[in-house]
Structure 1
Amino acid sequence: MSESWLYKWRDREPTAREVRRQQLAEEIEEIFHGSGGTYGSPKVFIELVRRGWRVSVNTVAKVMAELGLAGRKVRRRRSLTRPGKRAAAPDFVRRDFTAEEPDLVWAGDLTEIETGEGKLYLATVIDLYSRRLLGYAMAAHDADLVVASLNMAAATRGGDVRGVIMHTDRGSE
């Protein structure tokens, strides 16, 4: 190869194909960054088609690889309430959330709260007669959380909880 040909090739104007490829790369980067870095080549391809580009999904994948762009999987938030492994306890309340007298039926629940520092869980116990909050506990998820709220409820009522029906939903945190 002659030296003059090398300089001629290096200093030439870009071809129409190279110009189109550069425009495609810029468009792909715009779509990718507009998605927060979550779109992979199939979604970028769909958006390009909507914008009027005629290009294959494989070309989009190749250009994204050349640019070092890879879609990030968005993790789906899954519900923590799911049936337990053991059979459910009998429903003594029979979906009637009232009580004839205090300390006959208590109800409890566990709630997940999103905070700036992560997840926090709140366990509560109420008396279904008065709807009064008897006990609560708040902490990172652990098994002692519910026990702590029950202990507070028992202490609120003087420590004697014989005969009290404790009702919770069937979720399992």
Structure 2
Amino acid sequence: MRTVLNVSSDCFYRWLVRPESARSHRSRVLLEKIREVHKSSGYIYGSPRITVELHKTGESISRSSVARLMLCTTKTDNLDRSLQNT
């Protein structure tokens, strides 16, 4: 894999064992909560309503952050769906 990425083996293996950053950990936790709220709404709520619901639970997050996380999820979900055989 390191040859595909054209990086040295030292850098690749340091990256491989590096712990998860605080931001990516928080994003992952928030994404799980966003998915939960989105599912409980019957997949109707968008980022403004999900932000309000998260604020009710005590989460401090902006609407744009919710939208960013939802957009990243949507892109990967759509990619998974487009690769399925029919």
TM-score interval for Structure 1 and Structure 2 normalised by the shorter chain: 0.7 to 0.9
Task: Report whether the alignment pairs 1:53 with 2:59.
Answer: yes
Give per-residue Cα distances to partners, 1:129-150, cap 9 Å, x unaligned: xxxxxxxxxxxxxxxxxxxxxx
Task: Report whether the alignment pairs 1:63 with 2:82.
Answer: no
In terms of fraction of residues, the more helix-rich structure is 2
Q: Which runs of 4+ in 1 moved over 2 A?
A: none
The AA in structure 1 aligned to 2:63 is V
- In structure 1, what is the Cα distance between the partners aligned to 2:23 and 2:71? 19
The AA in structure 1 aligned to 2:53 is E
Aligned-residue Cα RMSD (Å) equals: 1.4
The AA in structure 2 aligned to 1:33 is K
Give per-residue Cα distances to partners, 1:105-146, cap 9 Å, x unaligned: xxxxxxxxxxxxxxxxxxxxxxxxxxxxxxxxxxxxxxxxxx
- In structure 2, what is the Cα distance between the partners aligned to 1:44 and 1:68? 15
| Secondary structure of 1:68's aligned partner | helix
- In structure 1, what is the Cα distance between the partners aligned to 2:62 and 2:51? 7
- In structure 2, what is the Cα distance between the partners aligned to 1:12 and 1:34? 35
Mark the structure with the bigger radius of gyration. 1
- In structure 1, what is the Cα distance between the partners aligned to 2:50 and 2:16? 32
TM-score (norm 2): 0.74
Which of 44, 52, 55 is residue 50 of structure 2 equivalent to? 44
C-alpha displacement of 1:15: 1.2
In terms of fraction of residues, the more strand-rich structure is 1
Structure 1 unmatched ranges of 5 or more: 70-173
Q: Percent same amino acid among aligned pairs? A: 35
C-alpha displacement of 1:17: 1.3
Structure 2 unmatched ranges of 5 or more: 1-6, 76-86
The AA in structure 2 aligned to 1:26 is E
- In structure 1, what is the Cα distance between the partners aligned to 2:35 and 2:43? 9
| Secondary structure of 2:72's aligned partner | helix
The AA in structure 1 aligned to 2:30 is L
